[in-house]
Structure 1
Amino acid sequence: AVKGLQCNGSLPNGDKGRRKSRFALCRRNKANGVKPSTVHSSCTPQAAKAISNKEQHSISYTLSRAQTVVVEYTHDSNTDMFQIGRSTENPIDFVVTDTVPGGQSHADGQTVQSTISRFACRIICQRHPPYSARIYAAGFDSSKNIFLGEKAAKWRMQDGQMDGLTTNGVLVMHPRHGFSQDSKPGLWREISVCGNVFTLRETRSSQQRGKMVGDPCNELADGSLIDLCGATLLWRTAEGLAHTPTVKHLEALRQELNAGRPQCPVGFNTLAFPSLRRKDVPDEKQPWAYLRCGHVHGYHGWGGRRNPEVDAECQERECPMCRARGPYVPLWLGCEPGFYVDAEPPTHAFVPCGHVCSEKTTAYWSQIPLPHGTHTFHAACPFCIRPLSAESGCIRLIFQSPLD
């Protein structure tokens, strides 16, 4: 299964058709995989025929105005192909859009130029055990072609085959020790059009490729992260998901937390986490927390520095319990089970967004450097993709039990 980071259970506007927060890859009724076959030099009738034939998959590498190399791809009855990209054309199985921290749409309906490729990548899965899945940069368009223009990084390999990189690249990170409580981040690598693995370029769209590396390969593992420069996806295997908490389990943990009747230590009113389906506007029982110390309260409007020029959400508040100053935010449970590395109770919150999940889950995502923009990396909350505080990405929550 492929899951989009930032999607806390579903897309902000709901899951519709091929545009959804998670996408399950199942064996197709009929194999649609392809593999490279004949290589044609430019200007030959066979090259022109391969490009114009809408039943023939091909990749064109433009070396100069006078020279193009065309690689024909032939049907592979042993594999299924799934394509991911921004385009809504039929060849794309999973339509992805740019993620905006916090899950909002772009402010004021601005149309911001997307950095995600229309045909970003393709995943080729074996139809027979062990069902391995491999990722390749770029996807075939409606004419079954991939075009790498003059400006794209490309080269000829020793065996005569061509290879290249897409404009903003497809990056992959395989975690060490799988996707579990013991997981540690791996190194980000770039995947080529032919599935070879390289160290990162100096900048995301540099024409100079990184160094080729043999290990790791382009085979996706449980917990592998795929970055398309504007959206980051998490790959989960069927075996991995079998050990992941279910929505039912998360709901049971929520009810158990609420059954403890946590209280606001100031107003003494009982607090309760809202249902997993409700995750927009805080209600009167909503737990809030001071993220410098972790003390959980009900909402109150005092204790902040009155500065009308600062966004209310960013204003620091002083905790009435311990006088620590820091962000004061509503707490929301993380609803996407696929992001959890264990099934333990929700005891910790990400800082500064306030999404709550297990201790090991917050610890894991706090150490993952996610690509941001075209040249920087930072840790972010998987449920809303907001950058985490550099000081401390997560905090243990301190609940006040009823006095009776």
Structure 2
Amino acid sequence: MFSPSQEEHCAPNKEPVKYGELVVLGYNGSLPNGDRGRRKSRFALYKRPKANGVKPSSVHVISTPQASKKRCHQFRTTEASSEAVVPESKATMCRQEFAQRSTLEFGAISSKGQHSISYTLSRNQTVVVEYTHDKDTDMFQVGRSTESPIDFVVTDTISGSQNNDETQITQSTISRFACRIVCDRSPPYTARIFAAGFDSSKNIFLGEKAAKWKNPDGHMDGLTTNGVLVMHPKGGFTEESKPGVWREISVCGEVYTLRETRSAQQRGKLVENETNVLQDGSLIDLCGATLLWRTADGLFHAPTQKHIEALRQEINAARPQCPVGLNTLAFPSINRKDVVEEKQPWAYLSCGHVHGYHNWGHRSDTEANERECPMCRTVGPYVPLWLGCEAGFYVDAGPPTHAFTPCGHVCSEKSAKYWSQIPLPHGTHAFHAACPFCATQLSGEHNCVKLIFQGPID
């Protein structure tokens, strides 16, 4: 009999274990200019060939070299003022203390071989928590930095269909080393999230202004500047799912209520009965981008890209028609999901009537997108419909019958209603529902509308 590790070693062609996937909200299946390297719209977390997890080991309370120098100088000055000769042993001890503290501070913080978290309490004092190798976990890091410690590079999401790499962000609010996800290498492969990631020097540095504190058990903890927020849905990620409560995750993985604003100095209250364990459908907000966590099991039961393509072909095969022009409508293929085509279905989002494109019904010159539906005379936005192609956002495998307002992305009824009631973080203290496929803020009475297709007359 082989142990699990021996079996893996003996079966190199065996499918690697997948822990789950992170999907960035606002991208309908891929980045506008294509997925490249570590920059993509979704990232799969696989069991690593060799564990790279770390766990806390030792704690050092240290002073900066400047403070040590100052103490040595004060010691010598005091001794000299009393006209006493400084004993060589004390002078040596002072030099050794200074050298030891300097080595400890810079060694612990910038050592290439050891991970550490540095909590700067004041200009004169820093607490350094050293981390050691953990053979039982794999660590994955997410952030804006393109440096090698980051496994998944995430940049600010621009809402709306104009999302592209050329759009300039004047100042990103996503941390360069935003968060880390630690997965157990043994079943059930539990994944946990922690705020902040280790940099190229294997250090997490919480400066003087960062929110930090010492817990009653003596352990240090803290928050990143703009925070890492997590929401676990009630009832998992299924047809019956309901939104959960947004929480903030600390550097050590504790769960807190939200601060008054994202970067407030005062932390929220500890939520003792909740954990940092990610569930299928958990949302992770990095203040500029929101990620959806899907477990391997959740993805196994979720609709696939092939299923969505089959639904698209099924709708087109029914030959829906424009009720006015009587021309046949068709959703464009998935690889042309950003190009408005001649047969593209359009809809009046106030009533849901689906038409082909036409240039009448304008109610005023000022509101170019406000049109009057020729079927029911309802006035509202008139937009092209786009199929939601990112399968990870679907809570069920139902047909695409509903459209988000005002963007016109189409998905199943259960999926549309689920996302329509999710309050997603926006800016430093606002929340609003948004389309998962393009990140546009939702509007209208229900944030989505049931589409009314007309079948062929013949």
Range class of TM-score, shorter chain: over 0.9
Of 229, 236, 248, the residue aligned with 1:190 is: 248
The equivalent of 2:5 in structure 1 is none
CA deviation map 1:160-190 (0-9, x unaligned): 2110000000000000000000000000000
- Separation in structure 1 between the aligned mates of residue 167 and residue 235 of structure 2, nearest angstrom: 42
1:331 has 2:389 as partner: no
Distance 1:3 1:94 in 2: 11
- Mapped to 2, the partners of 1:126 and 1:252 lie a distance apart of 36
**1:163 aligned residue:** 221
Residue number among 307, 324, 340 corresponding to 1:249 in the alignment: 307
Assess, with a 3 A threshold, how the Cα gap between structure 1 residues 105 and 358 changes in structure 2: closer, same or farther.
Answer: closer
Contact in 2 for aligned 1:262/1:402 (Cα 8 Å): yes
Q: Which amino acid aligns with 1:13?
A: N
The answer on whether the counterparts of 2:324 and 2:355 sit within 8 Å (CA) in structure 1 is: yes
3-state DSSP of counterpart to 1:362: helix
What's the CA shift string for 1:292-337, capped at 9, x where partnerless?
Answer: 0000000001111342x55x4xx20000000000000000000000
Paired residues for 1:135-214 under 5 Å: 135-214=193-272
Aligned residue number for residue 47 of structure 2: 27
Cα shift readout 1:234-286 (whole Å, capped 9, x = no counterpart): 00001101111111111111111011110000000000011111111211100
1:27-81 superposed Cα distances (whole Å, 9 cap, x missing partner): 0011100001111001334343211311110010011101111000000000000
Q: Determine whether 1:343 maps to 2:397.
A: yes
The alignment partner of 1:124 has SS state of: strand
Counterpart position of 1:394? 448
Matches of 1:52 and 1:184, distance apart in 2 = 44
SS of the residue 1:114 aligns to: coil
Quote the Cα distance in structure 1 between the aligned partners of 2:139 and 2:161: 29
**By how many angstroms is 1:392 displaced?**
2.1
Aligned to 2:126, which of 47, 50, 68? Answer: 68
- Structure 1: which 4+ aligned runs deviate by more than 4 Å? 105-109
* CA displacement at 1:104 relative to structure 2: 2.4
Q: Which runs of 5+ in 2 are unaligned?
A: 1-20, 64-100
Q: Which amino acid aligns with 2:363?
A: R
Task: Report the equivalent of 1:42.
Answer: 62
Match of residue 354, structure 1, among 400, 408, 425: 408
Q: From the superposition, tell whether residues 7 and 316 of structure 1 become closer, same or farther in structure 2 (CA, over 3 Å).
A: same
**Structure 1 162/94 Cα, relative in aligned 2: closer, same or farther at 3 Å?**
same
Q: How many pairs align?
A: 400
Match of 2:319 among 256, 261, 273: 261
Residue identity matched to 1:387: Q
SS of residue in 2 equivalent to 1:341: coil
Determine which structure has the larger helix proportion and give its number. Answer: 2
- The C-alpha deviation readout for 1:209-248, integer Å capped at 9, x for no partner, is 0000023210000000000000000000011011111111
Paired residues of 2:350 and 2:444 also in contact (CA < 8 A): no
Secondary structure of residue in 2 paired with 1:147: strand
Who wins on radius of gyration, i.e. which is larger?
Answer: 2
Q: Residue 123 of structure 1 contacts residue 136 of structure 1 at CA under 8 Å; is this kept in 2?
A: yes
**Which residue does 1:125 correspond to in 2?**
183
* C-alpha separation in 1, matches of 2:148 and 2:244: 34
Q: Secondary structure at the match of 1:207?
A: coil
**Pair 1:85-2:143 in alignment:** yes
Distance in 1 separating the partners of 2:388 and 2:135:
40
8 Å contact kept, 1:41–1:47 = no
CA distance in 1, matches of 2:341, 2:414: 28
Between 1:101-110 and 1:264-273, the stretch displaced more is 101-110
Q: Matches of 1:61 and 1:321 in 2, distance apart?
A: 65
Partner of 1:220: 278
Kindly provide the amino acid, as one letter, of the partner of residue 31 in structure 1: A
Q: How do 1:104-119 and structure 2 match up within 5 A?
A: 104-105=162-163, 109-119=167-177
Structure 1: runs of 5+ lacking an equivalent: none
Alignment-mate amino acid for residue 5 of structure 1:
L
CA contact (8 A) 2:233 2:281 kept: yes
Give 1:365's aligned residue.
419
Superposed CA RMSD in Å reads 1.3
> What's the TM-score, normalizing by structure 2?
0.86
The 3-state SS of whatever aligns with 1:274 is coil
- 2 CA distance for matches of 1:165 and 1:203? 13
Percent identity (aligned): 75
Residue 349 of structure 2 is aligned to residue 295 of structure 1: no
1-side partners of 2:165 and 2:107: how far apart?
46
What is the letter of the counterpart of residue 35 of structure 1?
Answer: K
Q: How far apart, in 1, do the equivalents of 2:166 and 2:445 lie?
A: 31
Cα separation, 1, equivalents of 2:454 and 2:444: 28
Partner amino acid for 1:25? L
Alignment check: 8 A CA contact 2:33 2:165 kept: no
Conserved? CA contact 1:106–1:112, under 8 Å: no
How far residue 289 of structure 1 moved from its aligned partner, in angstroms, is 0.1
* CA contact 1:12–1:103 (8 Å) conserved in 2: no
Q: Distance in 1 between matches of 2:203 and 2:303?
A: 41
Q: TM-score, normalised by structure 1?
A: 0.97
Deviation of 1:89 after TM superposition, in Å, equals 0.1
Give secondary structure in 2 for the equivalent of 1:102.
Answer: coil
